Structure 1
Amino acid sequence: MADTLRPDLAVIAQNIAPGSRVLDIGCGDGSLMAELVERQGVDARGLEIDAAQVERCVARGLSVVQGDADSDLADYPDKAFDYTILSQTLQTAARPDRMLDELLRVGRQAFVSFPNFAHWRTRSALMLGGRMPVTRALPVSWYETKNIHHVTIVDFRELVAAKGVRVERSWFFSGGHEIGPPAVNWRAEFALFQLSR
């Protein structure tokens, strides 16, 4: 099943220790949670804002509650989970800096993935067309997007450094495949970081 997951989710699934306690924030339809539960015996919980997605998860037998990560993570105790996961959601948070603090308060480690707004296609759309881009990684028009913070890989590295957060590992993706680290701020459509404090 891992081969049917989005590339960043497949990498996360490969790097979660069996039997761990996991909180998947913005878990969507629960694909990653189902993989972790079925293949690795993980105690996976989910937090999702979209009621229809919560209903799908619950129908699959997954433990998911409806909630808003911007406010509801405060209800979770310190270090309640081995891992917290925030995939393709950081840029939609009201305050990504505070969200990062909460992820690492609630979990011992965190996986965070996000679209890289410095990707060359995004830069080209702005420079040559003068318009907000619609790309594989950013598939909707500016007025439809939930993205309120346009983060780049360089921006994210600076944020974690300023907060004293340790980057355990990082992965970068383009065209649905993992790519090597040279010039990733220009080449990567999205990034994934494993973090700890």
Structure 2
Amino acid sequence: MTLRPDLALIAAHVPPGSRVLDTGCGDGALMAELAAKDCDARGLELDGANVADCVAKGLSVVQGDADTDLGFYPDASFDVAILSQTLQTTRRPDRVVEQLLRVAPRAFVSFPNFAHWRVRASLLWGGRMPVTRLLPLAWYETPNIHHVTVDDFRALAAERGWTIEASWFLRGDRLTSAAAANFRAEHAVFLLRA
């Protein structure tokens, strides 16, 4: 199975043997990849069908909500926490990231960039919320409740004192430079440290 580009980036940068919490783990593809690197990967997933699929694959996943259930994990119980394509679906993204950095000293956070030029063009010229490859659902069907941009996330990190250790930006399935990432990147991946 080929991983989504953001998940492949994260998998490449998680040290082998790490204790990992994948919050919003979906179908468990990243967890399976990390298990192959001898990581102790655990998952937290809201969707019951995804949880059942993961458990059937032998993955250690529990059903839970990132907004409320991260608080049940002890401080520093993992080496790395991951929140991929889930930030924009949480009720309080700031608190979720704080919890990630409480349960692990480092956290990967990835999200679609709502300031990408195609999104802007769709709003400007069409006057409607965009439907793109990374945002494939109409506004009334989407689980996205917060529309975050690269610059919004950088500002939040600065405001909260989180250190951005590394960042990667994707245009399509390829890396693009950090130059004008708020405009050019469809997707962002950040590695944070408290």
Fold shared per TM-score above 0.5: yes
Name the residue aligned to 1:153. Answer: 150
Distance in 2 (alpha carbons) for counterparts of 1:53 and 1:15: 25
One of 1, 9, 15 as aligned partner of 1:11: 9
1:100-154 residue CA offsets vs partner (Å, 9 max, x unmatched): 1101001110000000000000000000000000011111100000000000000
Distance 2:134 2:49 in 1: 23
Deviation per CA, 1:42-87: give whole Å up to 9, x if none. Answer: 0000000001000110011000000111100000000100000000
> Counterpart of 1:74?
71
Question: What is the TM-score normalised by the length of structure 2?
Answer: 0.99
Work out the CA distance in 1 between the residues paired with 2:167 and 2:67. Answer: 24
Match of 2:111 among 99, 110, 114: 114
Identical amino acids, percent of aligned pairs: 64
Structure 2 distance, partners of 1:190, 1:162, is 22
Instruction: Give the match's secondary structure for 2:51.
Output: helix
| Aligned-partner Cα distance in 2 for 1:35–1:97 | 28
How far apart, in 2, do the equivalents of 1:18 and 1:190 lie?
Answer: 25
Give the distance between the partners of 1:97 and 1:19, measured in 2 at CA. Answer: 28
Count of matched residue positions in the alignment of Structure 1 and Structure 2: 194
Which letter does structure 1 place at the counterpart of 2:135? L
Corresponding position: 1:57 with 2:63:
no
> What root-mean-square deviation, in Å, do the aligned CA atoms of Structure 1 and Structure 2 show?
0.6
* Aligned amino acid, residue 126 of structure 2: G
What code does the residue aligned with 1:137 have? L
Q: Structure 2: which 5+ residue stretches go unaligned?
A: none
Q: Which portions of structure 1, spanning 4 or more consecutive aligned residues, are displaced by more than 3 angstroms?
A: none
Q: Counterpart amino acid of 2:69?
A: D
Partners of 2:7 and 2:42 in 1: CA distance: 15
Q: What TM-score comes out, normalization by structure 1 length? A: 0.97
**What secondary structure, in the 3-state scheme, does the structure 2 residue paired with 1:12 have?**
helix
| Structure 1 portions without partners, runs of 5+ | none
Which amino acid is the alignment partner of residue 21 of structure 1? Answer: R
Question: Does 1:179 find its partner at 2:185?
Answer: no
Residue 88 of structure 1 is matched in structure 2 by 85
Q: Provide the rounded CA distance (Å) in 2 between the counterparts of 1:170 and 1:50.
A: 28
